[in-house]
Amino acid sequence: MTKLQATANHFGTDVTAGIEAEPDGVITLAPHLAALWELAAPFLDVRNNDAHTLYAFGLASALLDAHPEADAAVVLPAIMLHDIGWSQVPPSEVLAAIAPGGGRPDLVLLHEKEGARLGAELLGKSGYDAAKIPAILAIIDGHDSRREALSIEDAIVKDADKTWRLSPHGIDTVMDWFGLDRGQALRLCSQRVHGHLFTDEAKAMARALSALESVTAWPQRQQLLKAGPSAGQNAGTTSGGDDGRASI
Ligand SMILES: [Fe+2]
Ligand SMILES: [Fe+2]
């Protein structure tokens, strides 16, 4: 569970007046895309695809910042709708489709085709710019099975989708898909992501995420987690043990 509220204020003073409302890098969801999300979400309620989609959308937004030549009006709806086709695959077969050691390529293709079909319906219903729709659907249809990227927009969608696996939410999710401990999930996701990305920015993001998760698995880090907050921290310093409140 992501920590959303402080459990202490070691400094003792309110510092919130110095926090900007919209600093660089903090992203929001534009109203027309929030409306598209409302249409898509019922089709994403399987295998954590809803939260996966939101986090992958966030990564795609960050990649767009690095690629101003890419058309955000294609990338953002494509990443939001890319997995809606899983809703048309029997839930009992969804994980078999992507399991290590084989998988079901037929079901992967099915979710891509169904995703493009449903995507056309939802984009039409939302009144989306018709000129953008063919490119959006072309990305959805083949987003997993196609080895090459059709365009920079396709590359960004593919990279955001894959890089999510190494995010904290991605590792949490993959652990429970296959009954893996955190280290096993990290190794599985690392072998499936590194070497399969298109943009330099996603490659750097993915290596950073793998590195952070690697450190979490180190005995040195585990020992600090087990120890809980250090005496020094309780006395007002910011070094030592970490219960989520370590120095930044
Ligand atoms: Fe997919
Ligand atoms: Fe996906």
Domains and CATH numbers, the chain: 32-219 (1.10.3210.10)
Instruction: Please report the pLDDT score of residue 57 as a whole number.
Output: 98
Ligand 1 centre to CA of 228 (Å) is 39
Global confidence as pTM: 0.90
- Residue-wise pLDDT for 175-233, tens only, equals 999 999 999 999 999 999 999 999 999 999 999 999 999 999 999 999 999 998 764 55
Mean pLDDT, residues 3-20:
95
Instruction: Report how far residue 57's alpha carbon sits from residue 33's, in angstroms, rounded to the nearest whole number.
Output: 11
Ligand 1 centre to CA of 197 (Å) is 15
Residue pair 160/79 in contact (Cβ under 8 Å)? The answer is yes
Ligand 1 centre to CA of 225 (Å) is 35
Instruction: Please report the pLDDT score of residue 230 as a whole number.
Output: 63
Task: Lowest mean pLDDT of 53-67, 113-127, 131-145, 227-241, name the range.
Answer: 227-241
Question: How many other CB atoms are found less than 10 A from the CB of residue 77?
Answer: 30
Ligand 1 centre to CA of 75 (Å) is 15
Which ligand has the nearest atom to the CA of 165?
2
Mean pLDDT, residues 20-49:
94
Ligand 2 centre to CA of 83 (Å) is 5
Ligand 1 centre to CA of 141 (Å) is 9
